[in-house]
Amino acid sequence: MEIQGAGSSAAAPLYKKWADAYAKTVTDRVDYQAVGSSAGIKKIKENSVDFGASDAALSQAELKKSKLIQFPSAISGIVPVVNLPGLKSGELRLNAETLAGIFSYKISQWNDPAIVAINPQLRLPAKPIEVIVRQDGSGTTYNFTDYLSKISPEWKQSYGKNFTLTWHSKLTQVKGSSSIAAAIKKTPYSISYIDYNYVIQDKLDTVQLQNRDGKFISPSPESFSAALSNSGWKTQANFEEMLTDKPGTKTWPITMGTFILIPQVASNAEKTITTLKFFTWAFMNGDKLVNSVDLVRLPDSLQARVFKEMTTVTDQQGKPLNWSLR
């Protein structure tokens, strides 16, 4: 049997890795389309796929209204990436205020005094900043703008947080994480934001970002885990909480979870059981595959909550679905 999923482009490498490995153990197949988080949410609400994937959690009220269950699959981080000739990856330092200024096009030159003040040791070019952003409905954009909204009242008032934004007309807009990576590589003096696994996969240049404790941090699985450890995810298994701007000297400030959405009531019990089996297998056997695509596995306490969430799915008569991997 083939099941279909759609959504997050950030998490696509993980779901495809899981699907390829799973196909070697069973006859079932998983087809995943990286169409962006908001499209994935739309498709699962329309019941046109067997699972949706989003990099932003839906609220409990929205889940109830749409009759969906939700659980995280992994943790990642969103990283400002640059193409700055003459500078090495990780040399440039930025903070939330300069990021907000750049992406609202109020800071438009690389040698702007605000950037120079944070980087006195660097010789910054007197070049315009080429800003590249996501055009499609993206959970990456949602988390990135959630972070900027927490730090900058001006950003919150002018732009807010959302899957899509009405960007400044001077910004270049592209669709999907892969297109962001390609655009950054071919555009000198550019900046964008992208998920960490694409940073590693496409060998993109990163920045150091100042966190809530005032420390300039480089992105890494360890810094994403630090954000998780300083959140309600770890203490209360509360994965609806945003992971941006968490405390901790080692915390990466734009950490995010990525999520799976499945109907609470199965319209096709056989397909839903196949979907649940796939994710059960993935959590039991796929931890090393999470690491292989530069994401962070869920702690055991969260995996236990995920399994509990899965058992709440019912058939049309309200009876819990029964499945096992045997």
Distance CA 115, CA 264 (A): 49
Q: Tens digits of per-residue pLDDT, 260-305?
A: 999 999 999 999 999 999 999 999 988 889 988 889 888 887 888 8
- Tokens found for residue 11: 């998490």
Same fold, 2-75+256-310 and 77-236: yes
- Cβ(259)–Cβ(55) below 8 Å: yes
Architecture of domain 77-236: 3-Layer(aba) Sandwich (3.40)
Burial of 66-103, coded b for 16+ CB within 10 Å and e otherwise, reads: eebbbbbbbbbbbbbbbbbeebeeebbbbbbbbbbbbb
pLDDT at 130 over 80: yes
Distance CA 165, CA 210 (A): 24
- Cβ(76)–Cβ(296) below 8 Å: yes
Residue whose entry in the numeric block shows the structure tokens 């954000």 = 227
pLDDT at 325 over 70: no
Q: Tens digits of per-residue pLDDT, 19-60?
A: 999 999 999 999 999 999 999 999 999 999 999 999 999 988
pLDDT at 81 (0 to 100): 98
pLDDT at 227 over 90: yes
Exposed, middle or buried: residue 236 (CB in 10 Å: 0-12, 13-18, 19+)?
Answer: exposed
DSSP per-residue codes, 281-322: HHHHH-HHHHHHTT-BPPPHHHHHHHHHHHTT-B-TTSPBP-
The mean predicted confidence, pLDDT, of the chain is 94
Domain boundaries along the sequence of the chain = 2-75+256-310, 77-236
| CA dist 303 → 17, 169, 230, 265 (Å) | 19, 43, 18, 22
pLDDT at 205 over 80: yes
- Segment 218-222 mean pLDDT: 95
Q: Is 94 helix (H, G, I), strand (E, B) or coil?
A: strand
Of the ranges 66-75, 190-199, 276-285, 290-299, which one carries the lowest mean pLDDT score? 290-299
| CA dist 36 → 23, 26, 175 (Å) | 24, 28, 9
Percent of residues, the chain, with pLDDT higher than 90: 86
Q: In what order do the strands lie in the sheet with 93-94?
A: 93-94, 208-210, 216-217
Class (C level, CATH) for 2-75+256-310 = alpha beta
pLDDT at 260 (0 to 100): 97
Q: How confident is the model at residue 326 (pLDDT cuts 50, 70, 90)?
A: low
∠ CA 165-295-84, rounded to 5°: 60
- Segment 98-126 mean pLDDT: 97
pLDDT at 18 over 60: yes
